[in-house]
């Protein structure tokens, strides 16, 4: 009987072996996959097990962490001025996940990132309570406040950049939401708050500064002017252009009309920008040509997602255009669409003498003991326009503010350049237009701030809506806040 017994012994051995192989498979090979599985609650438990690190603006935290009585989550995220900062922080909710900085830098904030391994080990020996590291942002509290309060009850967004470095100074979006209302996981308060925000037709959780694209309207003329200069169509901004009025778009019988009776016939580029001539810039774009317009737009960052490091949607300059479409696209109509961040990038490149810096909003990551783990260095994205042409564009934009449509952005004793925009949308332009304003301020050592403001459907009547009236005062306040904070 012993031979079959030995075989059964081998069989039992194989059963145990199969289990051993399986446990190796689960705990070694598949462990990472299981640990990051979307259904794995441990990810959340870990996220709230320790005091979460803070997001810092101007040296002060704009977030906090509060102890809870929950069995799963020891801590809960809190926010100071939640609605104002929501477009920067995103949210970290026990029940609904995390977004933006809260998600991208989750490892640092929870303290579980590999870069914090040393700190964790030290905390284990010293017996200190482990906590997360901090994320220090580039934002400017005063500018953010000016932007948020300037938008007020209106729908819109503001993006402000420091042209020399690409630091994002303000990133506001209204209507906003308070992420602390659903930071927990209570079915009685957090879930209804979340559902209400999610179902709100005004989309308060949409980050309009980064994730919404608008037709840029006349503000896009700055890009067209840059393309005209770069591609040699125009050499002198004060020389008369060959611009008939009315100008019939090639391939059509439709004239490209201007807003009102403005002096656009053969206007100089400076004047055309000052009064915002559709006919001049439409023709200029057509003369530059679709391919070269696209080339310049791309150099400014169009047609590509930006990561700051939060993802911003790609702005669009259409790739396939006929002649009339090129003309329309060149004045920011047709299919041209842009995020507020993208227009801020355009202004910042011009204000920085043609050099486009990569926009970023995380200045540095700090360990719990405030040691700097990683610092973001400014990075050049490219040179969409030459220094000479950039300075010409500045002159033109300054004329707009000094004596054109952008007078509302004037700041005493500060040189400001800007451009208004009023973009039509809806079927037959039936909806209220978007009011745009893009501008920069100039100081002794270059430009401290470039800003883009867009105000959506406002309650004001159509005629009153123009970038100069609604958006320029907000831009002015933001610029002023930045300048004042540097004093």
Contact 75, 52 (CB under 8 A): yes
Binding track over 64-103 against other proteins, x by CB under 8 A: -------xx-------------------------------
| Stretch near other proteins under the rule CB under 8 A, chosen from 5-13, 155-163, 394-402, 433-441 | 5-13
- Smallest gap, in angstroms, from Cβ of residue 66 to other proteins? 19
Q: How far is CA 459 from CA 164, 175, 303, 455, in A?
A: 37, 14, 32, 11
Which of these segments, 41-49, 108-116, 319-327, 416-424, binds other proteins (CB under 8 A)? 41-49
Output 94 or 140, the one with its CB closest to other proteins: 94
Q: Find the DSSP H helices in 27-77.
A: 31-35, 41-47
Q: Which member of 35, 115, 195, 369 binds other proteins (CB under 8 A)?
A: 35
- For the chain, report the end-to-end CA distance as a whole number of angstroms: 97
b/e sequence 155-193, b meaning 16+ C-beta within 10 Å: bbbbbbbbbbbbbbbbbbbbbbbbbbbbbbbbeeebeeb
Q: How far is the CB of 30 from other proteins (least distance, A)?
A: 6
Cβ–Cβ contacts within 10 Å for residue 38, how many?
6
Q: Does 124 bind other proteins (CB under 8 A)?
A: no
Bin 411: left if φ > 0, else alpha if -120 < ψ < 50, else beta.
Answer: beta
What tokens does 57 get? 């603006």
H-type alpha helices, 25-73: 31-35, 41-47
Decide: is 28 part of the binding site for other proteins (CB under 8 A): yes
**Catalytic residue selected from 65, 218, 243, 439:** 218
CB 314, min distance to other proteins, A = 31
Clarify whether 176 is annotated catalytic: no
Instruction: Return left, alpha or beta for 413; rule: phi > 0 is left, psi -120 to 50 is alpha, else beta.
Output: left
Show contacts with other proteins in window 202-231 (CB under 8 A). none
Which one, 35 or 254, has the nearer CB to other proteins? 35
Check binding of 187 to other proteins (CB under 8 A): no
Which one of residues 5, 126, 377, 427 is an interface residue with other proteins (CB under 8 A)?
5
Beta bridge partners of 64: 78
In the complex, the smallest distance separating the C-beta of residue 190 from other proteins, rounded to whole angstroms, is 18
Q: Closest Cα to residue 87, out of 64, 62, 110, 61?
A: 62
Q: Which stretch binds other proteins (CB under 8 A): 36-44, 187-195, 423-431, 448-456?
A: 36-44
Of 459, 455, 448, whose CA–CA distance to 167 is shortest?
A: 448
Residue 23 interacts with other proteins (CB under 8 A): yes or no:
yes
Q: Tell me the chain's radius of gyration from C-alpha atoms.
A: 27
From 41, 196, 240, 374, residue interacting with other proteins (rule: CB under 8 A): 41
- What is the biggest distance separating any 2 CA atoms in the chain, rounded to whole angstroms? 112
Distance of closest approach, residue 311 Cβ to other proteins, in angstroms: 26
Q: Rank residues 5 and 370 by Cβ distance to other proteins and give the closer one.
A: 5
Q: By CB under 8 A, tell whether 125 contacts other proteins.
A: no
- Please return the burial class of 207, using the count of CB atoms within 10 Å of its CB with bins 0-12, 13-18 and 19+: buried
Is residue 239 involved in binding other proteins (CB under 8 A)? no
4 lies in the site for other proteins, by CB under 8 A: yes
CB of 12 to other proteins, least distance (A): 4
Backbone angles phi, psi at 76, to 5 degrees: -130, 145
Question: Please, what is the minimum distance in Å from the beta carbon of residue 42 to other proteins?
Answer: 5
Closest contact distance (angstroms) between CB of 17 and other proteins is: 9
Q: Is 290 in contact with 298 (CB distance < 8 Å)?
A: no
Stretch that binds other proteins, among 31-39, 378-386, 393-401, 404-412 (CB under 8 A): 31-39
- Count of residues binding other proteins (CB under 8 A)? 37
| Catalytic positions, written as ranges | 218
Binding residues for other proteins, rule: CB under 8 A, are 1-9, 11-13, 15-16, 18-20, 22-24, 26-28, 30-35, 37, 39-42, 45, 71-72
């Amino acid at each position: 009987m012993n031979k079959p017994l030995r075989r059964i012994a081998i069989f039992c051995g194989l059963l145990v072996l199969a289990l051993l192989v399986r446990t190796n498979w689960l705990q070694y090979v598949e462990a990472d996959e299981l640990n990051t599985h979307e259904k794995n609650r441990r990810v959340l438990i870990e996220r709230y097990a320790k005091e979460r690190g803070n997001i810092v603006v101007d040296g002060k935290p704009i977030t906090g962490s509060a102890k809870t009585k929950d069995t799963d989550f020891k801590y809960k995220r809190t926010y100071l001025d939640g609605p104002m900062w929501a477009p920067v922080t995103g949210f970290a909710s026990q029940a609904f996940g995390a977004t933006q900085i809260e998600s991208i830098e989750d490892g640092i904030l929870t303290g579980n990132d590999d870069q914090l391994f040393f700190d964790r080990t030290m905390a284990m020996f010293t017996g200190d309570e482990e906590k997360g590291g901090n994320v220090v942002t580039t934002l400017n509290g005063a500018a953010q406040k000016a932007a948020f309060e300037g938008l007020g009850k209106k729908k819109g967004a503001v993006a402000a950049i420091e042209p020399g470095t690409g630091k994002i100074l303000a990133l506001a979006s209204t209507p906003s939401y308070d992420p602390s209302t659903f930071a927990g996981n209570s079915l009685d308060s957090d879930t209804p708050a979340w559902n209400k925000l999610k179902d709100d037709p005004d989309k308060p959780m949409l980050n309009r500064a980064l994730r919404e694209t608008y037709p840029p309207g006349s503000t896009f003329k700055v890009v067209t002017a840059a393309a005209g200069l770069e591609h040699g169509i125009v050499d002198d901004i004060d020389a008369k252009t060959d611009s008939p009025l009315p100008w019939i778009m090639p391939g059509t019988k439709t004239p490209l009309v201007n807003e009102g009776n403005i002096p656009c016939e053969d206007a100089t580029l400076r004047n055309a920008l000052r009064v915002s001539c559709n006919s001049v810039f439409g023709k200029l774009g057509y003369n530059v040509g679709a391919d070269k317009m696209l080339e310049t737009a791309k150099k400014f960052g169009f047609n590509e997602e930006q990561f700051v490091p939060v993802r911003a949607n790609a702005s669009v300059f259409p790739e396939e255009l006929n002649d009339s479409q090129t003309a329309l696209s060149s004045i920011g109509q047709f299919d041209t669409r842009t995020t507020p961040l993208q227009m801020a990038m355009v202004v910042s490149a011009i204000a920085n003498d043609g050099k486009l810096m990569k926009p970023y909003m995380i200045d540095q990551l700090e360990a719990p003991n405030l040691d700097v783990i990683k610092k973001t260095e400014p990075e050049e994205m490219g040179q969409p326009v030459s220094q000479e042409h950039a300075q010409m564009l500045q002159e033109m934009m300054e004329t707009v503010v000094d004596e054109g449509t952008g007078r509302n952005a004037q700041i005493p004793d500060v040189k400001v350049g800007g451009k208004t925009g009023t973009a039509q949308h809806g079927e037959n332009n039936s909806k209220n237009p978007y009011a745009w304003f893009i501008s920069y301020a100039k100081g002794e050592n270059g430009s401290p701030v470039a800003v883009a403001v867009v105000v959506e459907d406002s309650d004001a009547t159509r005629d009153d809506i123009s970038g100069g009236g609604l958006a320029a005062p907000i831009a002015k306040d933001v610029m002023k806040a930045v300048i004042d904070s540097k004093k």
